[in-house]
């Protein structure tokens, strides 16, 4: 998580228009993706409270997840990802990877047989 000062510095540098996003990322020590999200408005500016945590108005109260029982800011990402895995959302990606591996092995075996002949 970046600090509010860093967030404001990135926004200021973006508004000036003098530097590229890559250069801003280097100068502020944040990733280019973070700079891109700040520029597009998809990344909110988090405001630390007095204890150094996050403002409750930004993220909501800390509470127990009904699925895993962990103390989290709801909705629980862990339970969401576990649900996606159980529903098989990632299964098609694994099937594609397996097919690509099989095709690569077939190509490599074909090249080996040509080399030995």
Residues 70, 20: one domain? no
**Residue 65 CA from chain centroid, whole number:** 22
Residues 22, 39: one domain? yes
Number of domains in the chain: 2
Per-residue CA distances from 29 to 3, 17, 43, 44 (Å): 11, 18, 16, 18
Residues 74, 44: one domain? no
Residues 40, 78: one domain? no
Residues 97, 52: one domain? no
Query: Model's pTM, two decimal places?
Result: 0.41
* Conformational region of residue 3, where left means phi above 0, alpha means psi within -120 to 50, and beta covers everything else: beta
Residue 30: domain span: 1-60
Series of mean pLDDT values for 10-residue runs along the chain (117 residues): 83 90 91 91 62 51 83 81 76 76 82 56
Residues 78, 110: one domain? yes
């Amino acid at each position: 998580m970046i600090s509010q000062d860093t967030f404001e510095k990135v926004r200021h540098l973006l508004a000036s228009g003098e530097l590229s996003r890559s250069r801003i990322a280097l100068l502020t020590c944040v990733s280019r993706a973070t700079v891109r999200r700040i520029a597009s408005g998809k990344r909110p500016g988090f405001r630390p409270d007095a204890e150094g945590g996050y403002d409750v108005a930004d993220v909501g109260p800390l509470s127990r997840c009904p699925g895993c029982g962990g103390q989290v800011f709801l909705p629980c990402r862990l339970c969401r990802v576990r649900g996606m895995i159980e529903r098989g959302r990632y299964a098609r990606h694994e099937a594609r990877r397996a097919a690509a591996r099989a095709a690569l092995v077939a190509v490599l075996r074909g090249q080996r047989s040509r080399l030995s002949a």
